[in-house]
Structure 1
Amino acid sequence: MKIVLVCVVGILLYSSQAQSALWTITYPRPLDDSDTRSQYPIALLKLALDKTGVNYELRPSDRILLTGKAMRQLRENREVNVVWSMTDSQREKDLTAIRIPIAKGLIGLRVFVINEDKKAKFNGIQSLSEMRKLVPVQGEEWPDTKILQANGFNVFTVPEFREAYDMIQQGKGDFFPRSVIEVHGELESEGNGNGLYLEESLALYYPTAMYYFVSSSNKILANLIETGLNRAIEDGSFDALFESTYAPILDALNMDSRTIFPLENPLLPLETPLANRKLWYTDAIKRSDVTQP
């Protein structure tokens, strides 16, 4: 009886503290106003926090932080207290991952930015073995790089994503695999009149998730965000935001007509909730399952 009473008191104290406190939540500042990649994660984070009823202030960090630096600062509880990024085993070891894939796995669905002069290289590709003859460009610290290497690709690496666009523009490397949730906004800012081209018929898919991460010492914030996300899933507002954001993009990319090659992801933690189908965008997953290497 005493144990039950202590637990109840603890829950009430936690709830009271969470509701009354002003939570200052700092995320990595985008590169600039043209960097649209953070718009959906910020909107979803606001939605989740609103569902909890807490008082909060959501603001960008004082300086620009690329993903690798942001993760290191988060681990040390400096500058930021939430980061959204693609998961891997090391990141989940170093930080607390809120295991609800915020983009329903679309971060692993990749289309290709190429140089217009290299269009012919992609004509008639029908197998993953043919894809492996081409050189992808990726970031040095990205999990994607290790995933591509594990699947037999010879990857050309650069420090950050805008340098990858420069490499493609200069004809170095053959393609820059970009998530379907990233590519349109990036091409609008990076691709005007500089020879970049979105390949029209192919895609790669590997199972992965983009999560919100917090410091391992910040369990209350993790619980707040997870509670808010689950409430948004239950009342349908999560799916409504996802559909309004990404359904037009998927239509514009003609995903239904692309050949999607599946890759294995050796970095995927065992705790990834793949069995919970309501957390994933299943169309691409089903289609990639039947496309043979």
Structure 2
Amino acid sequence: MTVMRRTGWFTKSIAAAGLLLMAGQASAALWSITYPRPLSENDLRSEYPVALLTLALEKTGVKYSLLPSDRILLQGKALRQLKENREVNVVWSMTDAQREKDLLPIRIPIAKGLIGWRVFLTTKDQLKYFKAVSSTDQLMKMTPVQGEEWPDTKILQANGFNVYTVPEYPQAFSILQSGRARLFPRSVIEVLNELESDDLPADIVLEPKLALHYPTAMYFFVNKGNATLARLIETGLERALEDGSFDALFRSTYQETLDKLDLENRTVFELDNPSLPPATPVNTPDYWLRPTRQE
């Protein structure tokens, strides 16, 4: 799904006619949209994506219902169910080449690239090992834990890390506690909510001085056969970007988090992302935020 602007009178006319047809079809029906149910009531990671999706749908003027799935779906399961057009019809996730092959992405990064900015969870006992880290080579001597099917795992492995993988997200914390992994890289948009969760073990803490960055995006994905829903969500997101409501929601959600994490004063290690799809809109500046000082 591209968001490139077509030029030329004929192509603009065709595009306008298509949008009018889509709008007529959309307004005549109730859109039932289902997303993956969070792990628990304390899992706040879905609040912003759901709020942004709600905003986008409101911008289109369609009638809709937006509800969580009947059961909890972890990310890998949710993506498989979406591919099979079962249980959910929209999922938000970090992109990679395989996901864009299996699913239909709406290529507007919903978190402005912050999904690729990572800070580290560790245990109180292991915190001392980070004090002497001043280079990527030194950091690579520590074992990170990640999900088996996460794009982050491939990125870390491609950059030389020996990654300990787990099939499900909650298991990562027990691996940290066991000492089999020393750090759990978490996105800056997730980590504070995780730390405030009652479900988190008491000895899990945030490392205060280091961070990782790799270029990537989190998108809304739909089933490949659901191009009309993809166009609907894309249209709503574009309208929200144009009128400033997208950025207002983003800032109200994440600015305090970025201030607390103090990324400007952390040592940031830059990694390559060889699995970044070539269609990623890296040259659209309004889509991205770099939360550190430019060198």
User: Scaled by the length of structure 1, what TM-score is found?
Assistant: 0.93
**Aligned pair partner of 1:258 in 266, 271, 274:** 266
Distance change (3 Å), C-alpha of 1:10 and 1:239: closer
The correspondence for 1:26, drawn from 31, 34, 37, is 34
CA RMSD of aligned residues (A): 2.0
Query: Where in structure 2 are the equivalents of 1:83-94 lying within 5 Å?
Result: 83-94=91-102
Quote the Cα distance in structure 1 between the aligned partners of 2:199 and 2:181: 16
Deviation at 1:5, TM superposition (A): 9.2
Task: Give the Cα separation in 2 of the matches to 1:5 and 1:65.
Answer: 42
- Does 2:209 correspond to 1:201? yes
> What amino acid is the match of 1:114?
T
- Which residue number in structure 1 is paired with residue 285 of structure 2? 277
1:188 Cα deviation from its structure 2 partner = 1.4
Residue from 96, 108, 131 that aligns with 1:123 = 131
Q: Letter of the 2:240 partner, please give it.
A: A
Q: Secondary structure at the match of 1:275?
A: coil
Q: For the residues of structure 1 that align with 2:210 and 2:158, how far apart are their CA atoms?
A: 20
Deviation string, structure 1 residues 101-146 (Cα, Å, up to 9, x no partner) = 0000000100000111112210121111111111000001101001
What stretches of structure 1 of length at least 5 have no aligned partner?
Answer: none
Match of 2:8 in 1: none
Q: What residue number does 2:67 align with?
A: 59
Letter in 1 for 2:74: L
Bigger share in helix:
1
Contact 1:165 1:190 in 2 (8 A): no
How many residues align? The count is 286
Q: How does 1:174-193 map to 2 (within 5 A)?
A: 174-189=182-197
Change (3 A) 1:11 1:235: closer
Is 1:212 paired with 2:220? yes
Report how far residue 234 of structure 1 moved.
Answer: 0.4
Indicate whether 1:165 and 2:173 are aligned: yes
CA distances 1:206-252 after superposition (whole Å, capped 9, x unpaired)? 00000000011001100000000000000000000000100000111
Change (3 A) 1:18 1:126: same
Separation of aligned partners in 2, 1:119 and 1:64: 32
Q: Which amino acid aligns with 1:233?
A: L
Shift of 1:256: 1.4
**Counterpart pick for 1:99 among 100, 103, 107:** 107
Question: Between the two proteins, what is the percent identity of the paired residues?
Answer: 60
Three-state SS of the structure 2 residue aligned to 1:161 is coil
Aligned partner of 1:70 among 69, 75, 78: 78
Is the CA contact 1:169–1:194 (under 8 Å) kept in the aligned structure 2? Answer: no
**Letter of the structure 2 residue corresponding to residue 197 of structure 1:** V
Aligned residue in 2 for 1:35:
43
Separation in structure 1 between the aligned mates of residue 30 and residue 182 of structure 2, nearest angstrom: 49
SS of 1:24's partner is strand
